[in-house]
Structure 1
Amino acid sequence: MPEVTLKVLRASKNLSQAELGERLGVSQTTITSWETGKTTPNSKNIYELANLYGVEPTVIFNAVFKQKT
């Protein structure tokens, strides 16, 4: 089973970085920064990502901080 990452979650919903950014009201650059670990989404965006992907917020949190559940 592949590691759950923000990129894997996004790809599972067939969304481009630009499309995801549009849905969340952030730039594509911001999505890239989250996926590469340069920056982390704030709590509001973590919850929005979880809702969009249909997962618990802890899944997003773990993906962001590369922790295993």
Structure 2
Amino acid sequence: MELNLKMLRASKNFSQDELAEAIGVSQTTISSWEKGKSVPNAKNIYELAKLYSVEPTVIFNALFKQKT
């Protein structure tokens, strides 16, 4: 199974609201990222990687595979 943004968030037991607050975006933004309607900017990719304790490339890969 391929990782996606929702799986990464769930693996750290964050709700969309909690994650949004932690990185300074709205819950709607998190939802849009998870649905593939938009993508996080470089700063937010870095913040997600820090929170999830993964390399930023893991986030990039999750975003790319989500689109296919």
Q: Which structure: greater helix fraction?
A: 2
Superimposed CA distance per residue, residues 16-53 of structure 1 (whole angstroms, 9 cap, x where no aligned partner) = 00000000100000000000000000000000000100
Task: Specify which structure has the bigger relative contact order, considering alpha-carbon pairs within 8 angstroms and separated by 6 or more residues.
Answer: 2
CA RMSD of the aligned region, Å?
Answer: 1.0
Aligned length: 66
One-letter code aligned to 2:24: G
One-letter code aligned to 1:65: F
Q: Does 1:50 find its partner at 2:53?
A: no
Structure 1 residue runs of 5 or longer lacking an equivalent are none
Rounded Cα–Cα distance in structure 1 between residues aligned with 2:64 and 2:31 = 15
**TM-score normalised over the length of structure 1:** 0.92
Q: Does 1:25 find its partner at 2:11?
A: no
**TM-score normalised over the length of structure 2:** 0.93
